[in-house]
Amino acid sequence: MLQRARYFILAFAVVALFAVARNDLSEMRALTADKSFFTSQLADVTKIEKEILQFRADASAFVLGHGDVTKSDVLLSFEGVWWRLNTRWTKYINPEIDAVRSYSRDMQKFWAALQTIAADVAALQPGDVERLGRIDAVMQRFQPAMTTMNADAYNEMIQRSAGIAQMQQAVTRSIDSFQWFFMIACFAGFFVLLLQLRRSEKLYADLQKREAEIRVLATTDPLTGLNNRRHFDEQMRAIDECTCPRQVQLLLIDLDGFKQVNDLYGHEAGDQVLCEVGARIRTAAGDGAVVARLGGDEFAIVFSGQVDQAREIASTIIAAVQSPVMYAANALRVGVSIGISGSQPGNRQSVNLLREADSALYQAKNTGRNRYVVFACSPAAQQRCKSAA
């Protein structure tokens, strides 16, 4: 009778330990299963910030006469922000992202504010700076909250991934500490332990792989495979913090004629052009340079070097992009305008670097396009820069 009781107690302990391990693994699988929904919500959160920036850029360019932005482009950009906050609002009713839930009131206020400026957007005309100021004031009031919500959601995603990995490690340690007990208990218990351990290792490897994919997703443009705006901003912050004695060069690149490709052949053709041009820019930039797609048809290159290297890269890009991109037997042609700025060691203000490169880019567009302009050139040397392009 006593011997039977011992076996019963031993079997009960084995079953209890096995149940605990299975429960932990089930919780990990549940956390892993929500990755797809979580990633989808994070993508929508990111798009809110991008569409706000796109609308502000289009509205400013239309009113100030920069580029070839039309009234239809402005209305389309505004509808993109409106649609993201209105039609898609049902996705945020019970969000699994805590960061989104905490900003729900800001999103509601933003949606209400968009209704108050809808009439101004519809009435916006070239040169109407006062109306543009009212519109932009509303967007500026809410954009920091949307940007912060985006960053908080990304940080929450990383923390969840780390929590899953820590849980798996805890389960693995727990199973390892009791494997000798399983061997003494019975061969069947030991066999079950090995099976669970193998499954745990496989799940851990899968979690590591998914965590790596999430990290890549957070810093990579999904269309072109280049670095995205987040990674580019990190590089800009690194420039401000760096004390190494090297010059830094920044090239801002904008496609010429890309809108016509989208209008004539559709967005699939436009996506193929972006992918092909991005690959050519990556090749021309060479090793050691950070190449990023900032959004739409705008790219950037950052590297440590001299302005002559930047000129050479810009010339190579202009020549490379002139070759047509084939799409469904159609030869699609676009050009590029490039603005170049550089910073000296000890004077690396990324905000100045960006502003100067953007100014040079607009100058390149306003002086004929399909060329590059170096901001640092004197007025007399600027003419030589444009002639060399």
Query: Which pLDDT tens digit goes with each residue over 201-210?
Result: 777 777 777 7
Q: How many CB atoms lie within 10 A of CB 11?
A: 13
Q: What is the mean pLDDT of the chain?
A: 78
Is residue 175 over pLDDT 80? Answer: no
Structure-model confidence comparison of residues 337 and 386, the more confident one: 337
Structure-model confidence comparison of residues 178 and 389, the more confident one: 178
Rounded average pLDDT over 344-358: 80
Residue 69 backbone dihedrals phi, psi, to 5 degrees: -75, 130
CATH superfamily entry for domain 229-388: Reverse transcriptase/Diguanylate cyclase domain (3.30.70.270)
Task: Give the pLDDT score at 338.
Answer: 96
Q: Residue 134: which of 114, 107, 160 has the closest Cα?
A: 114
Weakest-pLDDT range from 234-243, 244-253, 315-324, 378-387: 378-387
pLDDT digits (tens, 9 = 90+) for 72-97: 998 888 888 877 776 544 454 455 56
The model carries a pTM of 0.46
Is residue 376 over pLDDT 80? Answer: no
Rounded average pLDDT over 261-271: 92
For residues 99-134, b (16+ Cβ closer than 10 Å) or e, as one string? Answer: bbeebeeebeebbeebeebeebbeebeeebeebbee
Give, in order, the Cα–Cα distances in Å from 65 to each of 128, 129, 254, 383: 11, 11, 17, 23
pLDDT digits (tens, 9 = 90+) for 142-151: 878 778 877 7
Is residue 61 over pLDDT 80? Answer: yes
Task: Give the pLDDT score at 362.
Answer: 95
Rounded average pLDDT over 10-25: 60
Q: Which pLDDT band holds residue 292 (cuts at 50, 70, 90)? A: very high
Domain ranges of the chain: 1-219, 229-388
Structure-model confidence comparison of residues 386 and 111, the more confident one: 111
CA 62 to chain centre: 26
Is residue 27 over pLDDT 60? Answer: no
Task: Give the pLDDT score at 386.
Answer: 47
Structure-model confidence comparison of residues 23 and 385, the more confident one: 23
Is residue 345 over pLDDT 80? Answer: no
